[in-house]
Structure 1
Amino acid sequence: MVLVRKIIELLDKYNFLSHSLFYNALKVALEKSCRTVTGRSSAELLITFCDNIFKKGGSEKLSVEAIEESLEKVTDLTSAPENQIIFEEYLRNNTNVNTGIDLNVTVLTSGFWPSYKSFDLSLPLEMVRCVEVFKGFYETRTKHRKLRWIYSLGTCTINGKFESKHIELIVSTSQAAALLLFNNADRLSYSEIMTQLNLNHDDVIPPPTVDERRRVIEEVNNDRRYTIDAAIVRIMKSHKVLGHQQLVMECVEQLGRMFKPDIKTIKKRIEDLITRDYLERDKENPNIFRMSMTILVVFKYINGKLA
C-alpha cells in the first residue's frame, strides 16, 4: 500500500499523465517497480489498494474526500488498455475482493416523472463512488441539466455473507444503505442509523397516500363485514327469534372484543342477510327477526352429520 501511495504522490508532484511520452515511460517504470519490489503486477496492487480504502478508509483512516481523490488517481493509472486487461482479469480470479457496486441509472426529465418525495440520503462510501462516477459521465454529455436522485424509487441487490451461507437480498436504496453500515459496525441503534444516513422516520416509513389509506379502509371494512355477518348468524342460530334492538346489542357485545363496531354497519349487514335469505322478518312485527327455514334445515343437517 505504501508503494501505491508513493506513486500517487509522484503523479501529484509532476502531473505525468498530461504528456504521452512521460505517461508511456511511467507505465513501464510502474510495472517494473511493482514486479521488482512486490513480485505482483501493478493491476493487482492497485485493486488491493482500492479494496483496502473501501474498508473504513483503509489503514490511513482517510476522509470521504481523500478516498474519492485516491480512487480518481487509481482510475488514471488503470486507464491504459494493458492495465485494464490485467485489472479485469485479476478481478475475475479474485471474487473475494470488494470492488464497489454495479450501478444502473434511469434518467428522465422531470416532466415524465410523477411527483415523488425526495430526501437527501447520505450514501455509504461503497455507493458514493458509483454516484460520483455517473455524475461525472453525465456532466460530459450535458452542461445545462442537473441530476436529482430519487432514492425512494431505487432497488439494490446485496450479497449478504453470513457464517453459515450467502444470501442475496433485494432491497430499497435506503435499506441497502442501512445494511452496508453494518460492514463497519456489529451493532447500531435506530437513532444512530437515522443520523448516519441523514434520514428521519417519515423517510424510512413514509405516511400512506390518500389512495393507500382509502384502499386499507376498504379492505378493513370488507374483513369486518364477514365478521359481522358471522356474529349475526351465530346469535340468531342460538336464539332462533330475536328483536331488532337485542340483536344489535348482542352483536356489539360480541364484536367489541375485536373492534368497535359501527351500529349503522350492523343494521346494513342485517338487511343484507335478509336479502340473502339467512334471516326473515316476522310477518306481524317487522322489528322481530327469525332464522330462515332454509338455513335452519341446513344447520340441522350439518349437526346430524357431525353427530
Structure 2
Amino acid sequence: MTFHLHTMSKSIEAAHGASFLEELNTKWNDHTKALQMIRDILMYMDRTFIPSTHKTAVHELGLNLWRDNVIHSSKIQPRLLNTLLDLILRERTGEVINRGLMRNIFKMLMDLGPSVYQEDFEKPFLEVSAEFYRAESLEFIECSDCGDYLKKAERRLNEEIERVSHYLDAKTEVKITNVVEKEMIANHMPRLVHMENSGLVKMLLDDKFEDLGRIYNLFRRVPDGLSTIRDVMTSHIRDTGKQLVTDPEKSKNPAEFVDTLLEKRDKYDRIISLAFSNDKTFQNALNASFEYFINLNPRSPEYISLFVDDKLRKGLKGEKEEDIEIILDKVMMLFRYLQEKDVFEKYYKQHLAKRLLSGKTVSDDAEKSDNQTEDRMWLNCQLYVRSSDHITLVPILVGDYPGRLMGTADLRATFSKWSESLACVKGKNVLQKEPMSKDIGEDDAFSVNDKFTSKLRKVKIGTVVAQKETEPEKQETRQRVEEDRKPQIEAAIVRIMKSRRVLDHNNIIAEVTKQLQSRFLANPGEIKKRIESLIERDFLERDDSDRRLYRYLA
C-alpha cells in the first residue's frame, strides 16, 4: 500500500493549476474505495488478530499511510495549504470558487483526524485571516462613516459563517468569527462610537434604528462591547438632560418642560425596545440617567404637578379620555424619578384643590386614577367685592394654603355703563389695575372700568389656572415641606433604634436615608438635628465612652 501511495503522490504532484485539487480528490476517492474493499476482505483479521496483538486496524492504517505518504509529502503539504488559502482569499474578494471540491478536500482532512485539519489548515487559516481583516478594517475605517463600516463588518461576519456552513468544519465557526470580531470591531470600538457626524450620538439624535440595532448586535459579540455603547448613551442622555432642566428659557413654561421630558423618555424607550432588544441593562441606565438630571432642577416636582393639572383641566385636543390615561401613566414614570416625592405631593394637593373648586376637570375617572390621596381640607371664608354702586357678600371656598383664594362665584351688580363680571382678563377687563400688568402685587390698586361694555347680560370670565409659584411662594412651600419632614425623620429614627437598640451615627444616617428614600432624600444635617431633638426628649441617649454611639431608651 505504501508503494502504491508513492505512485499516487507523484501523479498528484504532477498536476498543474486548478487540476491539483481535482487530482488530489480523485486519488483520495480511489484510495478510500480500495481501503473499503481491503477492510472487507480482512474483516476476520480485524475482529480477531488485531485486538489480541494490539495492532492498528486496517482502515485506520490505510488513513495513516495516506496522511504520511501523500498529505504530508514535502511537495504536496505546503502546496495544498497555499492553494486552499488562495481560493478562500479569492472568494473573499468576490470570485466564485468550486465549493463542492473544497468541501471534499476539507472532509478528507477531517477524516484523517482533527489534528490534521487543525495543524495543516485551521491554525494557519486563522492567522492569515487575522492579517487580512486587520488590514481591511484599517482601510474601511479611513473611508467609511460608522454606519457603512458596521455594514461591511456585518457582511464579512456573515460571509465567514456561510463559508463554514459550506465547506469548513463546524467547530471553525466560533474561531473565525472571533477573529473577525476582534479585528473589525473590538479593536476599533472607541473610534467607531465617537466617530464625528456618524458615531453613536449621531445615531441616537437622528433615531437611526437600523444602525443602532446593527451596532448593538455587533458590539454584543465582543468583550465590553455593550458597556461601551451603554456608557456613551448614558453620558449623552445625562448631558442633554442636564442642559434641558437647567436652561432658564426651557423652564419658563412648566407644561412644555414636562412635555420635553416625556418626549425624551419616549424616544429612548423606542430605541431600547426596537434597536437594543429591550435590554434591561440599557433600561436601567436610562432610568438612572433620568433620575440624575430630573432632580438637578428643584422645581421639577412643581412642574410635573402643574403638567398634570393642565392635562386634567384641558384634556388633549381631539383625543379620547384613554389618551389622557396614557399620558398620566407616563407622567407617573417621571414621578418615580423624583427624590422629593413629598414636594410633588404638596403641590399636587394645592393644584387638586383649585381644580375641584373651580370645577375644571376633564374627567372624574382620570382625576381618580391620578389622585392617590383624597384628603382635602376646605375652609369657609367670605369675599367682599366692592364697587361704586353696590356691595355683594359672596361665600367662597379656599384650600389648605392660608391667604390663597380659590373657587368660583357669581357676582351680581347693576351699574350705569357696564355689565357684571370679575376682573383682569383681556377683553373682559371689568376692573382697571394700577400699575397695569398680568401679575398682581400686594400694593396694586383696583377701580371700576367705566369704559367696559358688553352686549351680553352675563359675561363669563374663566378662573385663574394653577401657575408656577413666585420665589416667595416657593420658599413658603419649601418651608412647609421641611416642617412636614421632621416628624417623618424622627419616626424613622425611632423605628430603627427600637429595633437595633444601639447604633452608631453613620449607620443611623444610612438606614434613615434608605427608609425614607421612597418619599424624599433626607438631608444628613437634618437627621442629625432630629437625633439631637430625640435626645433632648429622652428617646435616645449618647454612650458615655463613645459620643457617636446612641442607645434607645425604652
Same structural fold, with TM-score higher than 0.5 when normalized by the shorter chain = no
The structure showing larger relative contact order (alpha-carbon pairs under 8 Å, at least 6 residues apart) is: 1
Q: Which has the larger radius of gyration?
A: 2
